[in-house]
Amino acid sequence: MNWDQVAGNWKQFTGNVKAQWGDLTDDEVDQIMGNRDILVGKIQERYGIRKEVAEQQVEDWEKTHLR
């Protein structure tokens, strides 16, 4: 599965995203709309971490949820 498919099925993934990054607000999750770059940015912003760390977290999430 790729991120185009994630974007098309974003509502199905929101629960997994909220479970992984519980500090993201519902509005932030809605704004992401399946866009990987926006997800990384929101994680970086909300958790105050470097972009590389946020990228790694998303990569780890992808391995679990995007097969």
Model pTM above 0.95: no
The total domain count for the chain is: 1
What CATH number is associated with residue 50? 1.10.1470.10
Is 36 within 8 Å of 7 (Cβ atoms)? no
Is 55 within 8 Å of 31 (Cβ atoms)? no
Q: How confident is the model at residue 55 (pLDDT cuts 50, 70, 90)?
A: very high
Domain span at residue 25? 3-65
Single-letter code of the amino acid located at 61: W
Q: pLDDT by residue (tens digit) across 22-37? A: 999 999 999 999 999 9
